[in-house]
A and B are shown apart, each in its own frame.
Chain A
């Protein structure tokens, strides 16, 4: 079945760049998403990329998609302590992009 894999932890220093990686299995995914979850809170949609795109940039966030390798990454430039959270990668498994499969999340820890 469909599966989304992420590394569990990432630790960086404030001001450095963070790169969170994700691999997925469903080659027919139309959309791939990155969500942020702060402690005790719900998920906040950070950004998403359509499957026919290679890259998307939104302020400090850069998403890279390698469709051949089914690899997605999220780069956060100039990481701040407020970026500390769990980041979930998700792939859509239907055309409308409404049915999502989530990874287990990567905990990003930013030290000052």
Chain B
């Protein structure tokens, strides 16, 4: 099946520093990847849609200058949290779009990255 990995799985950083999270589709190519944020006991909130070779599309309320997304290849998208603050602490999950059965698109999710900003 389609496998999506994320790296790192857990990161602790100091306030004011930047953190890069990688999302890779391991056995398929993904022109579209998504980045979500999940707070404890809450649902996933879509932050942005990452398209290979073009600019990401951000959801309303998400600062594009703070959450930099780069989708430089068909198997890799990165999310950089710039000048991180404690309120950015969260679980960040990526997903990659693949063509599934019956010609429907399916999202395959990575295992998530837990970011703690101190």
Q: CB within 8 Å of B: which residues of A?
A: 4, 31, 35, 40-45, 48, 50, 88, 96-100, 102-105
Contacts and interface: CB of A to CB of B under 8 A. Distances in A.
Interface of B: 4, 6, 32, 41-44, 46, 49, 93, 95, 97, 102, 104-112, 114
Contacts, number: 48
Contacts of B32: 98
A63 B114 CA distance: 31
Given A42-B93, A98-B32, A105 B43 contact: yes
A41 B111 contact: yes
A102 B105 contact: no
Q: What is the predominant secondary structure among interface residues of chain B facing chain A? A: strand
A45 B107 CA distance: 8
Contacts of A96: 105
B44 A98 contact: no
**Which of A31, A43, A44, A97: most chain B Cβ within 10 A?**
A43
Contacts of B4: 42
B104 A88 contact: no
Given A97-B105, A104-B41, 13 more contacts: A40-B112, A41-B112, A42-B4, A42-B109, A43-B95, A43-B109, A45-B107, A88-B43, A98-B107, A102-B44, A103-B43, A104-B43, A105-B43
Pick from B32, B43, B105, B114 the residue with the most CB of A within 10 Å: B43
Contacts of B106: 45, 48
Contact of A98 (B105, B110, B111, B112): B105
B104 to A, nearest CB: 6
Contacts of B108: 45
28 contacts: A4-B43, A31-B104, A35-B109, A40-B112, A42-B4, A42-B93, A42-B109, A42-B111, A42-B112, A43-B93, A43-B95, A43-B109, A45-B106, A45-B108, A45-B109, A48-B104, A50-B104, A96-B105, A98-B105, A98-B107, A99-B46, A99-B49, A100-B46, A100-B107, A102-B43, A103-B43, A104-B42, A105-B43
B36 to A, nearest CB: 8
Contacts of A50: 102, 104
